Amino acid sequence: MGSKTVITHSLITFSLLFSVTGMKENERTLEVIYSRFATIKSVAADFVEKKKSRAFSTPQIQKGRFFSSRDGKLKWEILEPIRSTFTVSGNTAMVLYPDLRYEKIYDLATDTSLSEVVKNIFAIVSASAVDVIKKNYRYHLEGNWGKGWKVTLVPRRKAVRKVIEKIVLTITDKEFIKTIEISEEGGDITLIRFANVKLNPGSK
C-alpha cells in the first residue's frame, strides 16, 4: 500500500465528519448536525468499496469493516479480495498485508503529511470538528433529516487536492453515514456503502 493509498484511506475515514456551505446560516446548520452526534465516542461499520478506475476495464470491489474512536484509534480493514489493514494508535500507523507477509510502520511524529491527515480523522468525535472542517474544506450541504443530508467537501490545501478532488457523503439521523463517494484528481471514483453502523460500540 503506497502513501497515496494510505492518505486516501485516512481521508475516507475523516470524511465521516459533517460539512456545509461557508455562509453563516449553513455554518449554524453544521453545528446543529454535529451536535446531533456529539456524544459519539466511537464508530464501527461494515463497508463495500467500489472503485472505477481508468486503469481497469471493470470496477474493483473490496469488502471490509472499520472502527474509529476519539481516543486515537483507527482500524480500516479490507477482508476481501486481498486482506489488508491500516491501523492508527497514538503516534504509530501501520499497514499490514497478512497473506503477503508485508508490514510497514509509520511514525506520525516525523511523517508530517500523514500525521496531518490522521489528526483530522479524530475530529469525528471531538469538539473541534466544526473548526477543522471550516479550516480544511470548502463545503456544501443539501437535504434534511427526513431524506438525509448530501454533503460535498472540497479540500482547501493544494497538496490534498492532488489526491482528492472532492468527497460527497450522505448522512442520516439513525445510521449516521450511508455512503461516501471520493473523486480523485486523476479521474478515479470510489463509492463506499456502509452497513451495520454502530455508534459507541467500544474498543476494537
Distance of alpha carbon 116 from alpha carbon 121, whole angstroms: 9
pLDDT digits (tens, 9 = 90+) for 108-121: 888 877 776 676 55
What number is the average pLDDT over the span 24-45?
Answer: 76
Q: What angle do CA 13, 166, 114 make, to 5 degrees?
A: 45
Ordered alpha helix ranges (H), the chain: 3-14, 24-36, 112-121, 129-136, 158-161
Q: Quick one: fold of 3-199?
A: outer membrane lipoprotein receptor (LolB), chain A (2.50.20)
For the chain, the structural domain boundaries read 3-199
Q: What's the mean per-residue pLDDT of the chain?
A: 79
Judged against a pLDDT cut of 50, whether residue 137 lies above it is answered with yes
